[in-house]
Structure 1
Amino acid sequence: MTETRSRWFDLPPVWLVVALVLAWVQARYFSMGLSFGPVWADLLGGLLVGGGILLMALAIYEMRRQKTTIHPHHDSARLVQSGIFSRTRNPIYLGDVMVLAGLILYWDAVLALPLVPLFLWLLERRFVIPEENRLRRIFRMDFAKYCEKVRRWM
């Protein structure tokens, strides 16, 4: 029961929310007068958030179309290589990072910038590598060929 509960808590959106809360708190209460600038950060932040959400939506659509799971701790029924997965092996995780970076820019959370590489490292360690190891075990040569054709992050 506890392992199942911790598996449901240990999901990328939960970690994203934690990182976003930390960034928002930093921007709101500990800004120390730092700012990215007047307009460009808002524009770039909005583009990153919108692009991240689009990547996630395209990935979820493609995974649903192929009738496989989006849950990172479950075995995949199919190796999805079409749609956005023909460009990046991890569009949802990439979208998560883009949303975090975009909101850090939008909120002027200058001191929260180190959360971006830290969050990327966490995603790779806790989700990407174990997920790719499962795919490698299940799909063997197909996954090896896919890795040769498509980069992990873009």
Structure 2
Amino acid sequence: MTGRWYERPNRIPWPPMIFAGVACVAVVLQHVFPPGLTLPPALRWLGAATMVIGVALDVSAMAVMHRHRANIQPHRAATALVTTGPFALSRNPIYLGNTLLIAGAGIAFNVLWFVPMAIVTAWLVSRLAIRREEAHLAARFGAAWTAYAQRTPRWLRLRR
């Protein structure tokens, strides 16, 4: 099989660039337009816990990908369709983990611009990377991808 989506989803590794860029924008916005709000310690602990969950999700997803010898770089061709571990809860656990990490950091460190920017990041990653990656996976893995995509949400299913 050949073709654009089969060979690789993107030419540029969009997700890491988006996450880093949006984090920089949030820091600048925090300095230029400070919200003037200090969160209570309990909320800041909740932010720290959210960060830990985000990192744990990232690390576990990367470990599962490593065990399956799956390529982790978003601009290279997929080498395996991973559907177990955190990938059974979300088709994009690394992007979800990174988004939780950014939002949690905003709350934990009282850099409140990180919270809305986490939402912007999720939207940008969906538009610039996930849709292309899904087309790539569909072309590469066919019916196995379709079955997986039907039973597993793009971001996260909170209820059954």
Q: TM-score, normalised by structure 2?
A: 0.83
Q: CA deviation at 1:32?
A: 4.3
Q: CA deviation at 1:22?
A: 2.3
Which residue in 2 is equivalent to 1:132?
134
Does the Cα contact within 8 Å between 2:53 and 2:97 map onto a contact in 1? yes
C-alpha RMSD of matched pairs (Å): 1.9
Partner secondary structure for residue 153 of structure 1: coil
Gaps of 5+ in 2: 1-9
Q: Which stretch shifts more, 129-138 or 26-35?
A: 26-35
Does the Cα contact within 8 Å between 1:51 and 1:98 map onto a contact in 2? yes
Cα gap change, 1:113 to 1:83, in 2 (>3 Å): closer
Mapped to 2, the partners of 1:115 and 1:100 lie a distance apart of 8
Which residue in 2 is equivalent to 1:116?
118
Q: CA deviation at 1:21?
A: 2.2
Does the Cα contact within 8 Å between 2:70 and 2:79 map onto a contact in 1? yes
Does the Cα contact within 8 Å between 2:23 and 2:114 map onto a contact in 1? no
Please give the residue correspondences for 1:66-105 in structure 2 after superposition, counting only pairs within 5 Å: 66-105=68-107
Which residue in 2 is equivalent to 1:26?
29
Q: CA deviation at 1:47?
A: 1.0
What amino acid does structure 2 have at the position aligned with 1:62?
A: V
Does the Cα contact within 8 Å between 1:27 and 1:108 map onto a contact in 2? no
- Identical aligned residues as a percent: 29
Q: CA deviation at 1:88?
A: 1.0
Mapped to 2, the partners of 1:25 and 1:40 lie a distance apart of 26
